[in-house]
Structure 1
Amino acid sequence: MTSEARSPSTKPYNGPVGGWGSAKSVVEITLREHVPFKGPKLLSTQNKPEGYMCVSCAWAKPARPHPLEFCENGAKATAWEITSRRADPAFFSKHTLSELELWSDHDLEEQGRLTHPLRWDATSDKYVPVPWTEAFNEIGQELRGLDPHQVDLYTSGRASLETSYMYQLFARMYGSNNLPDSSNMCHESSSVALPESIGASVGTAILSDFENTDCIFYIAQNVGTSSPRLLHDLQDAVNRGVKIVTLNLLRERGLERFVNPQSPVQMLTGKETRISSEYYQVNNGGDIAALFGVCKALIEADDALKASGNSRVAGQDGEPKDPDNAAMVAFAASIASADKKHVLDHDFIEQHTAGFEEFAQAARAHRWDELERVSGLSRDQMMEAAATYARSDAVMMVYGMGLTQHLMGVQNVHMVCNLALLRGNIGKPGANICAVRGHSNVQGQRTVGITEKPGLAPLDKLSELYGFEPPRWTGRSTVETCEAIMNGQSRAFVGLGGNFLRAVPDTTAMEEGWRKLRLSVQIATKLNRSHVVHGQVAYLLPCRGRIELDEQATGPQAVSMESSIAHFHGSRGKAKPASAELLSEPAIIAGIAKATLGETKVPWDAWVGNYAEIRDAIERTYPETFKDFNKRLFRPGGFARPLPARERKWVTQSGKANFITPERLFPEFSTSVRTDVLHLATLRSNDQFNTTIYGYSDRFRGIEGTRRIVFMNEKDIARLGFAAGETVDVTTAIDDNNVRKVTGLRIVPYNIPKGCCAAYYPETNPLFPLAHHDPKSKTPSYKLLPVRISRPNPTPDG
């Protein structure tokens, strides 16, 4: 069964992001999910004080919200969750899991909310209802029979701080540090690079920085699809005259033009806000070269300014004129400080940083022709970006997964920090680093202990509070969990949300290993691929969603999460639960923990009855981060996580912020250099969030009715002998003796640099080898993979 059977169409989209298209899309999704009255009522409270936090992206909940504090994708996420459709026992009685394996991701989730706890019955190959107590006892019995090293406990980015804290505590009391999570697959490169560069594991920006900045460098993040509410902050900045310099692979409409659906003037007149003042399309994998070019221009301009007082420039005293040097001196003078003595912030560099000279020497040594070839930008473009940067006193660096999901993702983030440090653009109003996170609490779950790295968890404190000895061995990241599943070392997988099988690389091999698991347990709101492919013993446990009223022993409960700007926010569900049989996530974790561990010092039942007690426990564990947690839970705008780097205090080995020089400009692939190899990046459409597919429309790219697309440069299409609209196969071009292929993709000409192509995630995940990741962060390189395009092999009789 698939909704993609209809005839697809492609045509250029000439409109803006937002506007009537977004308004129409919101109406359409509420009608399709049969919530035309319930949906708008709930949306009026989304991201509002005392309301619920959006279940999709992690952008902040402002202290002074807009009348409607949701975006098109946020409305889709809400309607998708409060749908009137139900995947109940009657549904599962009609379908075997073998049959459901043939369904598309969209159609599995479109069946609606799960209503009852389910256990796989091997005889009928169906999910059948099971009482909660029985499910917990059987799961506990299975877990007790396994070595904790063999068990992986995964967390998606939606679980609240309260649930995540309970989950990591259960895992460690059970004896496992195998706590892979969705952060491993998205911003782990930030979590590794930022501590090395500035001593903070997250970005330092806050919302007020957007009000005080003079310039924003917007790098490798598609705001129109991934975090549309951020467009309000960008629009306000543009209206104040702020320059937005964008470096991105594709021409994304959200970074070009925006019509605010909440502005009557813009909606009625069609007046658009131009977002990017400068837009530079960088080659796939060319970010380090592009940023090095900007840094080189700044450093050499500063050098020229210093030397100009003693040098004979422009033919003085009869000496031959050096045009290049003269041009650099003129450029330096045009961008220098008011006293014309410097381009860089030497006081900041001297007082607050280490490693500058090594980095500056590397920047000087890179040839302009080399930087141009790798980045895809001209020298003039890189110098233009440098000039805009230098003429601004407070500059923000905003970036996303287009930088982190790379073989050199950690070094990409180092380069963002290097650029910021050159002019002291960290730790002052309007000048900070903003790492735009994906899922709504993916950052927060790490803050409360969801980590495979024992050095990042307060193990001694947990031992003191709960009277047990936590495991001290290093657990498995997501990539390592996949390896363990493939080779049989992992025997059980417990999933707290998400669609793990669709999110990870090497999909075909992963599904083969997944079927060999002894136990698979999934806590979820809707049906997905990770549920219909299963272990030998399988349970599907439905939970209440964040939007739903969570009534416990002491009354309605609130939960909390951390936003992209490291602020903590409270959230209260408002909707009636989809089924009386649903339990909350904390109740499910407590049920499994009690059945597995027996008697402990943890008051599981009391925590389930009153989530404020969980927050008190979090505060006892992290007293500095969560001081007065319950008192500040619903503070307007949230309350900030302490970050010393915001105050120019550097918690690094050097005691300073570090310039860290990348090893090279571009990754070294284990493949021969061939002209038919393109560099593939995966994309999300504006009709999806992560692995959740709301529909088959990508309005901003002109795609309707399909996701089987490969975007290519027109010159590459002609050079390789193809035609627009032709159906082709895409094959991984890394020589690892394992053919990985995705078939039946339609070529769409698109504004993408030559030598690059793009296709949708997760449909092209089977192309990515598990070993294709950043060596330090182990983040899969979903944004850079060498591939070849070919025509399908003819059938034997064709």
Structure 2
Amino acid sequence: MADHGDIKIKEYEGAAGGWGSMKSVARILPEEKAGTDTLDTLRRLNKPEGAMCVSCAWSKPEKPHLAEFCENGVKATAWELTGLRNTPEFFQEHTVSELKDWPDHDLEQAGRLTHPMKYDAATDKYVAVSWAEAFDGIGKKLRTLDPTKVVCYASGRASLETSYMYSLFARLWGCHNLPDSSNMCHETTSVGMKNATGSPVATIQMEDYEKCDAIFCWGQNVGVNSPRMLHTLKAARKRGVEIVVFNPLRERGWERFTDPQNPVQMATDSSTQIATQYHQVRAGGDISAILGIIKIAVEADDKAKSAGEPAVLDHHFIEQHTVRFDEVAQFARDADWDDIVRESGLTREAIEDAARVYLKSRAMIAVYGMGITQHRYGMDALYMILNLLLMRGHIGRPGAGPGPVRGHSNVQGQRTVGITEKPELAPNDRLRQLYEFEPPMEKGWDTVESCRAIISGEAQGFIQLGGNFLRATPEHEKMCEGWAKLPIAVHIATKLNKSHLYPGEESYLLPCLGRMERDMQATGRQAVTMEDSFSHIYGSVGKAEPASPHLLSEPAIVAGIAKATLEPNPNVPWDKWVGDYGLVRDAIENTYPDMFTNFNERMFQPGGFWKGNPAAHRQWKTKSGKAEFNVPRALNASGFEDKPDRFALITLRSNDQFNTTVYGYRDRFRGIIGTREVVMMNHDDIARLGLKDGDIVGLESDAEDGVERVVDGLRVVPYNIPKGCIGGYFPELNILIPLEHHALESNVPAGKSVPVKIRKPA
């Protein structure tokens, strides 16, 4: 890690949005040498017949604003359409060993990759090769490997068309290891929601925010991870909707928002209060906070029943549509308030305040993010949110239901069209019929299992469709050692990142077109599609000039690898698909006829078309045939006990970041400028340890596995965070996360509550 410029740490007093956002946008455009293509793309961004943002997966409205983008959307667009270029000359000037020491920001800031490259071990440099040489070399190597020992990873940016082709290539080859960025972040949702409701995704749609009367939010930083959602929340507040937030840190987006498209707010520097209640739970304390609300509701219902008064809970819904309610109700009755208060970190009065909103709501939406899913007992935390909804019938009702907020723009869509390591989720019967081959039916490796295979040396290769897998995963040192021993690593990418700098026996960089760039193929300009957090499908057309004439599209690269690796299959027309993406959409429709009927005709429908969700209609595709209540296994999701010198580390993204991509060193909302080498601490904890503001400390793993994991050189920053919790930046602090510290059942790395100790200066 490295500092960047002058370090300034001062509390930020502004709102989310507003002039701070405008200044940030004005700063990044010249830094990235943005031209007219960038401005034209922003004009069209997230609009019908326009380009879909490569940042978050928030909905693209039927009737868009004049500017339908946020600060982070501008950064993502400028980052992709940058005027900076990373040419073969760059790699002649820098060895891979040298580049390993560069910060994440500086690697990507070198610009867009312009030529296909292959690693040359003799010089320790990447050298330019032709596409034919790259595909031929990759195919020859892959044909020597066991496909069941190779990982085909996908980040959440690739289109539905690319994702379908990629998953089909893997299965035709015999590979069933198809993890993706959902495994990193939201697999807890995919598993838990499916177990409890039969559906792995949100049951709500965008219009439900116009019909709800309460919004409860857990573990989601709206101002950083989905800023366009603030317009929706602002409209809800204008209607009088109560918004109750549970999050360890006070994040500015949940507090107040100045709408950059509102002239009055901009002129007066006024803002809209978003949260009507803000509860700073301990890391992992959401289970107990929700248990307290459930306890209040169940006991109020018991009292009403005894008094012959109207029920508080929706017993008709519970009886007709659910199982195991009595177990959860009794667990809540038996719960001790001292335990609830201790594990949640909240007072009983605070929980009672939240319960009052819950009990009067007739249509409640539950929003949550990785602050729920990335814990050892993240599944239990999610189940508690669903318990809360089910008790009063808040699923399958207008204005009510669970609304997990996704990160990458198409991470949900990739799973829809076959990127999955689970055979029961893959359309194997249809693939067998359409393409006349036998798909692998064994379970493949997910993210954690892929990491185990890389560390142990079992993995024989890694193909990376976008992303920065090595940087995003836990157990960093062992992963780097194993990654560098892979027989082959293939990276389809737009920019250089850390994953590319630990080359195995053979390594290739395959530069691709960005989504916002013009994609010309045999039949003319092409469009692609993706799916948002609400299961709506949208078309996207890029018009910007490609960064290099040597770039290929992602579908073309996938097809090139497939043709070089596989025996010809007359049922799989790779070349025709590359020439006309509409034919890929026809193939998707043939594979998933219920979800993608008339796909090509509907892809540019304003607001997107909905693929459907049985749970939204109270059709429960669960083992029991009903929605299922679940009793939690623990009162705190962290999965480890409190100890005198043990802290729960919460890994965080900054305001100047999207996942592993660091746009800059200005975490405006937290007031941390010029550095990412910090540890945010509660004032009382700082005093108790005899530290002071600005001290330089280290963090070491306090996992009980005997492995030493250390990060030194972190600046102490006093911060409004619960006692016993500390915050620091992802991905730099991933070094401290053990591989086996992951969510049970879903295997999501548990980066929101990591057991660590603080190493005080000598």
**TM-score class normalised by the smaller sequence:** over 0.9
CA distance in 1, matches of 2:476, 2:352: 42
Residue in structure 1 matching 2:544, options 575, 578, 589: 575
Give the deviation of 1:669 after TM superposition. 5.0
User: Of residues 461, 465, 475 in structure 2, which corresponds to 1:496?
Assistant: 465
Secondary structure of 2:357's counterpart equals helix
Q: How far apart are residue 670 of structure 1 and its match?
A: 6.2
Report SS of the residue matched to 1:469.
Answer: coil
Do the aligned residues in 1 keep the contact of 2:46 with 2:53 (CA within 8 Å)?
yes
Hey, what's the Cα distance between the residues in 1 that align with 2:432 and 2:31?
50
Q: Which residue of 2 aligns with 1:191?
A: 190
Is 2:233 aligned against 1:263? Answer: no
User: CA offsets, 1:326-385, max 9 Å, x none?
Assistant: xxxxxxxxxxxxxx5111111111111111101100011111111001001111211211
Does 2:436 align with 1:467? Answer: yes
What residue is the counterpart of 2:717 in the other structure? 748
Cα RMSD over matched residues?
A: 1.1
User: Which AA in structure 2 matches 1:767?
Assistant: L
One-letter code of the match for 1:391?
K
Tell me the matched-pair count.
761
CA distance in 2, matches of 1:370, 1:376: 10
Partner of 1:584: 553
Q: Show the counterpart of 1:663.
A: 633
CA distance in 2, matches of 1:78, 1:400: 23
Amino acid at match of 2:442: W
Partners of 1:433 and 1:516 in 2: how far apart?
Answer: 43
Letter in 1 for 2:692: A
Structure-2 change in CA distance of 1:791 and 1:299 (3 Å) = same
In structure 2, distance between residues paired with 1:351 and 1:180: 37
- Please say if residues 373 and 379 of structure 2, whose CA atoms lie closer than 8 Å, have aligned partners that are also in contact: yes
Does the CA-based 8 Å contact 1:29-1:76 persist in structure 2? Answer: yes
C-alpha contact 1:687 1:694 (8 A) present in aligned 2: yes
Distance 1:370 1:680 in 2: 22
- Which residue number in structure 1 is paired with residue 620 of structure 2? 650
The Cα shift of 1:3 comes to 6.7
Does residue 631 of the first structure (1) align with residue 601 of the second (2)?
A: yes
Task: Kindly provide the CA deviation profile for residues 707-729 of structure 1, in whole angstroms up to 9, marking residues without a partner as x.
Answer: 00111100000011111111100
Gaps of 5+ in 2: none
Contact 2:37/2:545 (<8 A) preserved: no
Could you report, residue by residue, the CA deviation over 1:690-709 in whole angstroms, capped at 9, with x for unpaired residues?
A: 00000011000000000001
Retained in 2: the 8 A contact 1:153–1:171?
Answer: yes
Structure 2 match to 1:322: none
> Which aligned pairs between 1:34-433 and structure 2 lie closer than 5 A?
34-309=33-308, 340-433=309-402
- Map residues 582-731 of structure 1 onto 2, 5 A cutoff: 582-600=551-569, 601-667=571-637, 673-731=642-700
Deviations 1:502-544 (A, max 9, x none): 1100111100111100101000000000112211101000000
Secondary structure (helix, strand or coil) at the match of 1:179 reads: coil
CA contact (8 A) 1:669 1:734 kept: no
- Give the TM-score, by structure 2 length: 0.99
Partner AA of 1:9 in structure 2? K
**Residue matched to 2:413:** 444
Alignment of 1:548-559 (within 5 A): 548-559=517-528
- 1:539 is the counterpart of 2:546: no
Q: Match of 1:4, SS? A: coil
Aligned pairs (5 A) from 1:6-17: 6-17=5-16
**Cα pair 2:85 2:112 within 8 Å, conserved:** yes
| Distance in 2 separating the partners of 1:303 and 1:202 | 33
Aligned 8 A contact 2:375 2:639 in 1: no
TM-aligned CA deviation for residue 40 of structure 1? 2.2
CA shift for structure 1 position 123: 1.4
Look up the SS of the partner of 1:521 in the other structure: strand
Structure 2 counterpart of 1:194, one-letter code: M
Query: Contact 2:287 / 2:637 at 8 angstroms: preserved in 1?
Result: no
Q: In structure 2, how many angstroms separate the alpha carbons of the residues matched to 1:721 and 1:745?
A: 16
Q: Distance in 1 between matches of 2:546 and 2:3?
A: 31
Q: What stretches of structure 1 of length at least 5 have no aligned partner?
A: 310-339
Q: Could you tell me which amino acid in structure 1 is paired with residue 192 of structure 2?
A: A
Letter in 2 for 1:478: T
The answer on whether the counterparts of 1:247 and 1:282 sit within 8 Å (CA) in structure 2 is yes
Amino acid at match of 2:389: A
CA distance in 2, matches of 1:168, 1:176: 9
CA distance in 2, matches of 1:102, 1:746: 20
What's the counterpart of residue 708 of structure 2?
739
Letter in 2 for 1:367: D
| Cα distance in 2 between the residues matched to 1:24 and 1:714 | 31
AA paired with 1:711? M
SS state of the match for residue 757, structure 1?
strand
Residues in 1 aligned to 2:643 and 2:364: alpha-carbon distance in whole angstroms: 40
Distance 1:697 1:148 in 2: 43
Check whether the contact 1:679–1:784 (CA below 8 A) recurs between aligned residues.
yes
Task: Please report the TM-score for the alignment, with normalisation by the length of structure 1.
Answer: 0.94
- Return the offset for 1:36: 5.0
How far off is 1:248 after superposition? 0.8
1:759-774 equivalences in 2 (<5 Å): 759-774=728-743
One-letter code of the match for 2:400? A
Deviations 1:593-616 (A, max 9, x none): 000003112000000000000000
Structure 1 residue ranges, 4+ long, deviating more than 2 angstroms after superposition: 2-7, 36-41, 666-671
Cα deviation digits, residues 769-792 of structure 1 (max 9, x gap):
000001200000000111111124
SS of match in other structure, 1:76:
helix
1:291 & 1:127 partners in 2: Cα distance? Answer: 52
Q: In structure 1, what is the Cα distance between the partners aligned to 2:643 and 2:722? A: 17
Amino acid at match of 1:791: K
Q: What is the one-letter code of the residue matched to 1:736?
A: D
Give the drift of 1:37: 3.7
Quote the sequence identity (%): 57
Which amino acid letter does the alignment assign opposite residue 510 of structure 2?
L
The one-letter code sitting in structure 1 at the alignment partner of 2:320 is: Q
Asked if the contact 1:3/1:107 (under 8 Å) is kept, the reply is no
Larger radius of gyration: 1
State which of 743, 755, 760 in structure 2 corresponds to 1:786.
755
SS in structure 1 at match of 2:717: strand
Cα deviation for residue 411 of structure 1 reads: 1.2
Question: Residues 2-50 of structure 1: CA distance to partner in whole angstroms, max 9, x if unpaired?
Answer: 8724231211111100000101111111111111543222201000111
Q: Distance in 1 between matches of 2:133 and 2:36?
A: 38
Q: Hey, what's the Cα distance between the residues in 1 that align with 2:117 and 2:322? A: 56
Alpha-carbon distance in structure 2 between the residues aligned to 1:785 and 1:127: 36
Q: For 1:136-173, what per-residue CA distance to the aligned partner results, in whole angstroms no more than 9, with x for missing partners?
A: 01101100000112211100000000000000000001
- For the residues of structure 2 that align with 1:382 and 1:702, how far apart are their CA atoms? 30
Matched to 1:641, the amino acid is K
Q: Deviation at 1:183? A: 0.5
Residues 724 and 780 of structure 1: CA distance in aligned 2, closer, same or farther (over 3 Å): same
Residue 398 of structure 2 aligns with an amino acid whose one-letter code is: P
SS at match of 1:397: strand
Q: 1:57 to 1:670 in 2, by over 3 A?
A: closer
**One-letter code of the match for 1:658?**
E
Q: Does the CA-based 8 Å contact 2:377-2:639 persist in structure 1?
A: no
Which amino acid is the alignment partner of residue 702 of structure 1? G
Q: Secondary structure at the match of 2:44?
A: coil
Paired residue secondary structure (1:44): helix
